[in-house]
Amino acid sequence: MTQTGTLHGVGVGPGDPELITLKASRLIASCPVVAFLSADGKPGLARAIAAAHIAPTHLELVIDMPMRVSRDDGAAAYDKGAAAIVAHLKAGRDVAFLCEGDPLFFGSFMYLAERLRAFFPVEVTPGVASPMAAAARAGVPLCARDDVFTVLPATLPDADLMRHLPQAQSVAILKLGRHLPRIRRLLARLGLLDFATYVERAGMVGERILPLADLDDAQAPYFSMVIMSRASVAA
Amino acid sequence: MTQTGTLHGVGVGPGDPELITLKASRLIASCPVVAFLSADGKPGLARAIAAAHIAPTHLELVIDMPMRVSRDDGAAAYDKGAAAIVAHLKAGRDVAFLCEGDPLFFGSFMYLAERLRAFFPVEVTPGVASPMAAAARAGVPLCARDDVFTVLPATLPDADLMRHLPQAQSVAILKLGRHLPRIRRLLARLGLLDFATYVERAGMVGERILPLADLDDAQAPYFSMVIMSRASVAA
C-alpha cells in the first residue's frame, strides 16, 4: 500500500529570487513534483523565481490557466489542475505548488487546496508578500503603533474605495490594470495623492518607482501596486 | 577616506528560523555588525530566529529597549540605538538590523531608519510577515478575487474596531494582549466570531491554534493574533 503524498503550497516570494525562504527552497528540493500555473502556454513568474531550485530530476507539472477567463472556465481549469495533482498524490508523490508571493494572499493555490483539502494532506509555506516588497523598495513604512493597514483591489467600485481609503493609515492597492487613472483620481479627490507611491516590478528587472502624482500611464501591468502611506513613524 | 556603511533593515520572518529568506541570510553573513533589540536585558526573538547565521566573528550590537515605556522613553532609547549604529556606519561598517517578520510592518527598524535616512544609505530586505505565517499554520485564506484584507491593532477603541471589522472579508488583529476578551466580544456582537481563529506562536515551539470561540483566556501573549477570514475562495 502506498501512502498518499502531501500537497505543499509554497510561497516563493514577490519576484526577486533571493527573497525565497530557506524552507521553500528545501521543500522544492525534497518534492519529486513541482507544479505551477502557466498562462496561455507561458509559465508564470513563480516558475522563474524558483528556477535555481528546480533540478532536471524534478517532474514539472504545468497547470494551464487561460488569462482573462470567465469564472466558470477558471473553475474548469482548476478542476483539471487538481485532477493532475491528485494522480501524483495518489502515487505517493509529494507535490510543491509554486506560488508567487504568499500562497494565501491572492494566490491561485487556494482554489486547488479548496478542492483537495478533504482528501489529502495540504501544507502551506508562507512567503514574502508583494506589499512588503513594494514598501521595502519604495522606502515607505506600512504600519506602526496603532495604525490600520488595508489591502484593496483596484477592481472595487468607487464607493467602496472612497469608503476604505481614508480609514487606514496605509493602503496597498493591487490589481491596478486599467483602473490606474481612476485610483489616481480618487486619491486626489480625498487629498491622499501626495502620500501615494507607484511601484512596478519591485526588486525585478524593469523596476519603476515614482510618486503616483507624477504618473500619467493609462494602465498598469500585473506586477504593480500603489502604496499610500501615512504610517505613524515619527518620534 | 573611509566610505560610510549601509544600514540594512533585515526581515528575518515570523518565528520559524526556516522562514528567513536567502537574501536575509546572505546580508547577515556579509555585514560585520549585527544589531537587534533587547527588552529589559533579554535579546528579542529576531536574534534567536537568525542565530544560525550569526558567526563568532560578527560584532553584535545590542540595542536596549525597555518594555512598556512611555513614548518619550522609547524615543530616547531609539536615539541611543541610532547613535551606536552611527558609530559603525561612520567607520565604514555595514550594519544588519534584525527585524522579526517584515521591517516595515510594525517593525522597530522604522524608528531607527527615520533618524538615519538623511545621513546614511538605508536598505530594507522584506520578510515573511506574521499574518501570512498565522494564516498558513491555521489553514485559512487571507484574500482572493476582490477581497479586502485589513490589519487592525487590538488597541484601537471599540468604535474604530466596530467600523473596520465588518468592512473587510479578512482581518488580522494584532497586539491582542489584555484586549483579547474585548475582541472576542466585538466579533460576537458582529456575528463574526465563527469566522475567527486564534493563533499563538505560529510555527514555533508552544504553537496554539483554535477557534476564537473556544478560547477563554483573559489575555494573549505578544506573539499571537486573531485571523477573521471570509475570503472568497469558493469555486
Domains of chain A: 7-125 (3.40.1010.10), 130-229 (3.30.950.10)
CB atoms within 10 A of CB B158: 11
Among residues B92, B99, B100, the alpha carbon closest in space to that of B113 is found at: B99
Helix (H) or strand (E) holding B187: helix B180-189
* A126 vs B74, B133, B155: nearest CB: B133
Q: How confident is the model at residue B225 (pLDDT cuts 50, 70, 90)?
A: very high
Determine whether the interchain pair B126/A26 forms a contact, defined as Cβ–Cβ distance below 8 Å.
no
A184: DSSP letter: H
Check CB contact under 8 Å for A133 and B126: yes
Grid cell at residue B56: 563568532
Residues B17-22: what's their mean pLDDT?
98
Q: Out of A20, A25, A132, whose CB is closest to B102?
A: A132
Closest among B78, B104, B137, B76 to B11, alpha carbons compared: B104
B135 neighbors B227 (Cβ within 8 angstroms): yes
CA distance B154 to chain A (A): 8
Name which of A19-23, A114-118, A134-138, B65-69 the model is least confident about. Answer: B65-69
Specify the pLDDT at position B232. 85
According to the model, what pLDDT value does residue A40 have? 81
Whether residue A234 has pLDDT greater than 80: no
Q: pLDDT category, A222, cuts 50, 70, 90? A: confident
Please answer whether residues B199 and B212 qualify as being in contact, where contact means their C-beta atoms are separated by less than 8 angstroms.
no
Tell me, what DSSP letter sits at residue B137? H
Residues of B within 8 A of A155 (CB-CB) are 146
Look at A22 and B23 and tell me if their CB atoms are within 8 Å.
Answer: no
**Interchain pair A150, B155: CB under 8 A:** no
Asked if B144's CB is within 8 angstroms of A21's CB, the reply is no
C-alpha grid cell, residue B81: 540605538
CA distance B136 to B131: 8
DSSP string, A75-128: HHHHHHHHHHHHHHHHTT--EEEEESB-TTBS-THHHHHHHHTTTS-EEEE---
pLDDT at B69 over 80: no
Bigger pLDDT: B66 vs A143: A143
Would the CB atoms of A152 and B148 count as touching at under 8 Å?
A: yes
Give the residue from chain B lying closest to A155, CA to CA: B146
Of the candidates B16, B111, B126, the beta carbon closest to that of A233 is on: B111
pLDDT at B83: 97
Tell the residue number behind the cell numbers 505548488, with chain if given.
A97
Query: Which pLDDT does position A231 carry in this prediction?
Result: 87
What pLDDT, on the 0 to 100 scale, is given for residue A72? Answer: 79
The interaxial angle of helices A71-90 and A109-116, nearest 10 deg, is 60
- The closest CB to that of B18, out of A17, A23, A105, belongs to A23
Please, which pLDDT band fits residue B235 given cuts at 50, 70 and 90? low
Instruction: Give yes or no for residue B99 having a pLDDT over 90.
Output: yes
**A126 vs B contacts (CB less than 8 Å):** 14, 19, 128, 132-133, 135-136
Tens digits of residue pLDDT in A81-108: 999 999 999 999 999 999 999 999 999 9
- Residue B96: CB atoms within 10 Å: 29
Q: Looking at the predicted structure, is the pLDDT value of residue B86 above 70?
A: yes
pLDDT of B231 higher than 60: yes
Nearest CA in chain B to A164: B167
Chain B residues close to A144, C-beta within 8 Å: 106-107, 110-111
pTM here is 0.96
Chain A residue with CA closest to B111: the answer is A233
pLDDT band at A1; cut points 50, 70, 90:
low
Tell me if A124 and B136 make a contact (CB, 8 A cut-off): yes
Nearest-neighbour CA in chain A from B52: distance (Å): 12
The nearest CA of chain A is from the CA of B235 a distance in Å of 6
